[in-house]
Structure 1
Amino acid sequence: RYDPLGGWRLLPRLEGAQRIAEVASQGLVGLSEDAVPFIEDGKSVLAPGVDT
């Protein structure tokens, strides 16, 4: 879909999203439970609790 202010945006349907999720290995970050309050407060994901 084209957004005049943001350009093209990928909006996959369920099957397409499942296919992307199956092969996606980059861009995902694991977080420990103690990082949740930081994220909920809008702080960076690089705050304490980041697992690699």
Structure 2
Amino acid sequence: MPEAGVSDTTVSRCLNGSLCYVKTDHYKKEMENNLQQSLGRAKDKLKRG
């Protein structure tokens, strides 16, 4: 797997364990933010039971 910056396609692991192909750092950051928000919502649901 190439280092980040070697190719314009960065591979990052998603919550479900599948691979997501991310074209740019900006898009990657956006995706990570969305992932964090999803995690937060999931945790809230668990807390509420």
Q: TM-score range by the shorter chain?
A: under 0.3
Judging by fraction of residues, say which structure has more helix. 2
Structure having greater relative contact order (Cα 8 Å, sep ≥ 6): 1
Q: TM-score, normalised by structure 1?
A: 0.20
Q: TM-score, normalised by structure 2?
A: 0.20
